[in-house]
Structure 1
Amino acid sequence: MATGDEKSVCPVCFNLDFDHIPQKEPPCVLDSHYFNIPFLKVKASSKSESCLPCSIICAGLECMQEQWEDSEDDQFLLEDTLLLINLRRGHSLRITCSNPGDEKILEFYTLSEKDNASIFAIGISRAVATELDLDRCLELAREWMKKCDTEHNLCGRPISSRLPTRVIDVGPDATSDTVYLRETTESNRDLYMSLSHCWGKEQIITTTTSTLLARKASINLSELSELSENFRDAVMIARYFGIRYLWIDSLCLYLDRH
């Protein structure tokens, strides 16, 4: 499918090509652009086999149809379903499927530069671990962070900032079973990580006014039964990336103060 000849440009999806999509005011920002397509037009273009991008979009949506529908009577791809196409150069093709009161989001990736050659709007996916091997997953995360630091202009390199009032000091020794709750001052600046987690129904370790001194003295990773695997993993990951401080809400906030 050629893209240089205007006559070959699909009137439905514009070949998912930045050079052919209708320009809007203000112009595209950060190589990102939106436009709407009725699903029925994409489906008709796909059936005519005249447009590869339309065929890919339609196949992806219909593949997800069964997962999106709660029952046989709950059809999602309707006659008036509207597709919001988000082209993001170098990223996935993101499509929001909108019906009154409901919407679903689907992203398209390719696996290699060879697959990406004909439709540049569908970005190449990052490598994903095929098994839950901890060392491999951590190495992948390190690669992603390095890429973010060196290639993403909007991200920039992490900088030291004012530490929260209380943080977990994971220490310089990656083999130690002990971490500490540390109270900081306004002059304490450094990198730190935060753990976002669901408390669930099980009792988890917390800090109160009565346990503050004990937490500052030590928190033993192997002896405290209420210390969840999430907390232990967070300490291990912070140490792996060379981050000295960790913020966990249940440990760094007084839970008996309002």
Structure 2
Amino acid sequence: MADKCQTCGLGTIMAGGSDPIILHEVRFLLNDLLTASQTCFVCGMLYEGVSLLPNFEDVQEIEVNKSEGALAPLEVTIRQIGQNVGITYEFYIPSNVPVTKSPWPILSIGYDLRSSTEERLGLTRSWLETCINTHQNCPPAVQKLPKRVIALDPHSSKIKLKETANGDGRYAALSYCWGRTGNITTTKGNIASMLAGIALIVLPQTIKEAVQVTKHLGIDNLWVDSLCIIQDSQEDWIQQAALMCDIYTNQCGLR
């Protein structure tokens, strides 16, 4: 086990833990980092990275935060002379470098934000599955379903409103701004047709995209307030509004 550096204190912390908590937070001056970089491998990496930042010569204080978790970045905040507010940068390993071969074990993998939608959704689904399978402190993925959900068919574009009888299942919940006009909603007059099926073409773009993302995440149910609450029923609104906190807390995907 490596000895902890007196400046950064990061000698024994590695990437790849599980709990999203702050493991380490430390502040030091740039001159201290320069001195420590002669003997500490991590300080050397930090100094090399900071030296590439704009206005490097004006940097006075550096703050480093390292959270546990395979996806948690090494956050480096720099404050220039005369500034109270700093700028935070995230240090990662390039996504094409295997963690086992990285010369910087304290750094986690950085993912290319320019990748395709399919790649991003695949990555997001893997995060969700990791959370469901390994995060013991997170709520179970299967929860009591809301009174109504939008049922999604993973093999077609067909969707419909479904009465759940508060059975168990997984669902995602969408929180969004409706906009002022042109919104389809569930009412007393159209609920029978909504239960029979909803044409995607009539939905706002936000809900269309929520449907697609939810399906890509492998979740079969979506809760949207405008569709899952009978909008012209005061009784239904009062009942569902009282459950809103639970609905968003127990959902398994969007928000």
Is the structural similarity TM-score above 0.5? yes
Report the CA distance between 1:244 and its aligned residue. 2.3
Could you tell me whether the CA contact under 8 Å between 1:92 and 1:107 is conserved in 2? no
Task: Judge which range, 199-208 or 213-222, deviates more.
Answer: 199-208
1:131 paired residue among 96, 103, 115: 115
Are 1:116 and 2:102 matched, yes or no? yes
| Alpha-carbon spacing, 1:193–1:87, altered in 2? closer, same or farther (3 Å) | closer
SS of the equivalent of 1:219 reads coil
Whether the aligned pair in 1 keeps the contact of 2:7 and 2:33 (CA below 8 Å) is no
Cα distance change, pair 42–211 in 1 and its aligned pair in 2 (3 A): farther
Q: Which amino acid aligns with 2:164?
A: T
Show CA shifts across 1:66-117 (max 9, x none).
8xxxxxxxx9x764x4514225264434336387874654332213225534
- Whether 2:204 is the aligned partner of 1:228: answer yes
Letter in 2 for 1:233: E
Aligned partner (choices 69, 85, 89) of residue 106 of structure 1: 89
Name the CA shift for 1:92/1:56 in 2 (closer, same or farther; >3 Å).
farther
User: In structure 1, what residue type is equivalent to 2:172?
Assistant: M
Once residues 62 and 212 of structure 1 are traced to their aligned partners in structure 2, the CA distance between those partners, rounded to angstroms, is 62
Distance 1:56 1:246, change over 3 A: same
Unmatched 5+ stretches in structure 2: 14-18, 238-255
CA distance in 1, matches of 2:198, 2:214: 16
Residue in structure 2 matching 1:53, options 24, 29, 42: 42
Distance 1:206 1:109 in 2: 44
**Contact preservation (8 Å) 1:163, 1:189:** yes
Structure 1 residues 64 and 216: alpha-carbon distance in aligned structure 2, compared to 1, 3 A threshold = farther
Instruction: Tell me the alpha carbon deviations over residues 171-215 of structure 1, each in whole angstroms, 9 at most, x when there is no partner.
Output: 4x6224x322223323x1111122344545664333344544443
Task: State the AA in 1 paired with 2:107.
Answer: I
The letter of the residue matching 1:124 is: I
Once residues 203 and 58 of structure 1 are traced to their aligned partners in structure 2, the CA distance between those partners, rounded to angstroms, is 55
Per-residue CA deviation, residues 111-152 of structure 1 (Å, 9 max, x unaligned), is 3225534x3222234x55753253x444334444444445x3
Shift of 1:162: 0.8
Q: Determine the structure 2 residue equivalent to 1:26.
A: none
- Of 2, 14, 17, the residue aligned with 2:11 is 17
Indicate whether 1:175 and 2:156 are aligned. yes
Equivalent in the alignment of 2:26? 36
Q: TM-score normalized by structure 2?
A: 0.64
SS in 1 for 2:42: helix
Q: 1:184 to 1:113 in 2, by over 3 A?
A: closer
Contact 1:174 1:239 in 2 (8 A): no
2:227 equivalent to 1:251: yes
User: What number of residue pairs does the alignment pair up?
Assistant: 222
Whole-Å separation in 2 of the counterparts to 1:62 and 1:200: 46
CA spacing shift, 1:45–1:95, aligned 2, 3 Å: farther
Normalising by structure 1, report the TM-score. Answer: 0.63
* 1:160 correspondence with 2:142: yes
Q: Cα 1:41–1:184, aligned 2, differ >3 Å: closer, same or farther?
A: farther
Percent identity reads 23
Give the conservation status (yes or no) of the 8 Å contact 1:32–1:88: yes
User: 1:167·1:247 contact (CA, 8 Å) conserved in 2?
Assistant: yes
CA distance in 1, matches of 2:188, 2:219: 27
Residue identity matched to 1:238: T
Asked whether the equivalents of residues 160 and 196 of structure 2 are also in contact (C-alpha less than 8 Å), the reply is yes
